[in-house]
Chain A
């Protein structure tokens, strides 16, 4: 039987990279906690300008379509592997 151990956040935050795998609601909740708002039509608004945020495919993105938020210049992705590939390429990976 598999055994488990408790991990302290301090230990985890010393790692190089972490992927948080979240439900749709959790992901949107975190985006809001980071300062973004959602308009009446469900589009994500930029926390600085208040305008609709563009995803990496340069189109406005709804909260319900958000599949990933990536650090750096805060990249929002739809569920599209090509968008993620573009993100990696721009970072030289």
Chain B
């Protein structure tokens, strides 16, 4: 599809706003085309999100009535005028990301679709982003997943990033699958459901004080010290999660710094779930919980060497 020459023609011809009669090819390749067209001087693109139609226009010929429509839409002192379209302005190197994210939201998991209307907007947003990052991991696109989590950190801070990580590792879905039915059955109205769900999320954030997602900036000695303090204080659950070889090595150093003997002596089990050797992004999960004495052995999914579960003998 040669949209570049078309946009160049529009730029020369003047006040044209055109669209292809057959939209399917443009729709199929829309992700790369918005950037291509944006490079043609004095042209711009309009997308109709409802129909996914694209149009090419000449920027210099933008009518005053369109600017006036924007002015009304962007005036926070006035209520939205329903007869006017909602106009959103995007830089051409950001729009494709927007479309991909919105496409992802349309495939949103049932759980998020169920709880989003009840929970605080920040939580809903973080879970959507967690789901988006998880999809990237599932597609072996670690760079994208890391970028999403980094942007979550910028928007919501370290608590937000942690909540996002908790979503990726399945804590959120596990928690809600356990409680959701009972909450919906017992709550009297929508407001009460919201109170219960938001309380659960806040509790999980507190509970996650001893859940660590290891990354390149993780302080090995600091985390080891926190874990030792938690063990001495009798915390009920400690977990370390790592993705990629360097982070797995950091995690192993943390466990070494804490000391398996120290954990055993305090009556804690250590479950180390070894990464699958064939995974393109190796994951490593370690769970530390107070438990029964003895040594259990687990076999990983591929029949590899068993992971070891240590406990006080």
Contacts and interface: CB of A to CB of B under 8 A. Distances in A.
B187 interface: no
Given A2-B22, A71-B80, A84 B46 contact: no
A7 B19 contact: yes
A15 B48 CA distance: 8
Contacts of A49: none
B151 A74 contact: no
Contact of A89 (B6, B90, B121): B121
A5 B124 contact: no
Contacts of B71: 34-35
B91 A15 contact: no
Interface in B122-157: 122, 124-126, 128-129, 132, 148, 151-152, 154-156
Given A81-B101, A82-B129, A82-B151, A15 B50 contact: yes
Interface in A27-63: 27, 30, 33-35, 56-57
B209 to A, nearest CB: 23
Interface string B71-88: 101111000100011111
Contacts of A5: 18-21
B69 A13 contact: yes
B59 to A, nearest CB: 5
Main secondary structure of the interface of A (DSSP, over half): mixed
B49 A21 contact: no
Interface string A53-88: 000110000000011111111100101111111101
A6 B17 contact: yes
A63 to B, nearest CB: 11
Interface of B: 1, 6, 16-22, 25, 34, 37-38, 44-50, 55, 59, 63, 65-67, 69-71, 73-76, 80, 84-95, 97-98, 101, 105, 116-117, 121-122, 124-126, 128-129, 132, 148, 151-152, 154-156, 160
Given A22-B92, A85-B125, A92-B121, 19 more contacts: A3-B20, A3-B22, A4-B6, A6-B17, A7-B19, A13-B85, A20-B90, A22-B38, A24-B91, A26-B59, A27-B89, A27-B90, A34-B71, A70-B89, A82-B155, A82-B156, A86-B121, A86-B122, A90-B121
